Amino acid sequence: MDIEAVRPYSERLTYRCLAPVEREQLLGDSREREEAFFRFWTLKESYGKALGTGLGYPLREVSFHLGDPPKSNVPGYFFIQKVINKKFILSVCKKGIPPEQTVTVLRHLPERIGGITYEDGSIAKPEGFG
């Protein structure tokens, strides 16, 4: 799982971590591009966490097509993704069984603390916040 705030990013980063087919999907105004970039980024981070390697895999060789759910060129892994209040992107990767059959993602986003409260009551905060 990974969560990130939608924010400006360096265009150079797109050439280092996105596949060419992903860069083609980065169209639209700057806010749409920022959201799309972090949708890709959180998918790649959640996949790396599922592998146990973090971002230590060839990022540009794994590609995603944004949708609901997002699709990937990696067999056997399934992804779900939520855009929360147009401010945060949450991505979950699961090997084997599609996560929508096994994972309760979130209940709500408390604005006052900038975190996500999960069904068990624990709170996760996006990177770079509080």
User: In the 3-class helix/strand/coil scheme, how is the chain assigned residue by residue?
Assistant: CEEEECCCCCHHHHHHHCCHHHHHHCCCCHHHHHHHHHHHHHHHHHHHHHHCCCCCCCHHHCCEECCCCCEECCCCEEEEEEEECCCEEEEEEEECCCHHHCCCCCCECCCCCCCEECCCCCEECCCCCC
For residues 105 and 63, the model is more confident at 63
Q: Is 7 a domain residue?
A: yes
Above 70 in pLDDT, residue 15? yes
Q: Is 38 a domain residue?
A: yes
Q: What is the mean pLDDT of residues 24-28?
A: 86
Q: Is 113 a domain residue?
A: no
Q: Is 36 a domain residue?
A: yes
Q: Domain residues for 33?
A: 2-102
Q: Binning pLDDT at 50, 70 and 90, where does residue 115 land?
A: low
pLDDT of 31-75, one tens digit each? 899 999 999 999 999 999 999 999 999 999 999 999 988 999 999
**Domain count for the chain:** 1
pTM, full prediction? 0.77
Q: Is 58 a domain residue?
A: yes
Which CATH number characterizes residue 51's domain? 3.90.470.20
pLDDT of residue 61: 96
Q: Is 112 a domain residue?
A: no
Q: Is 127 a domain residue?
A: no
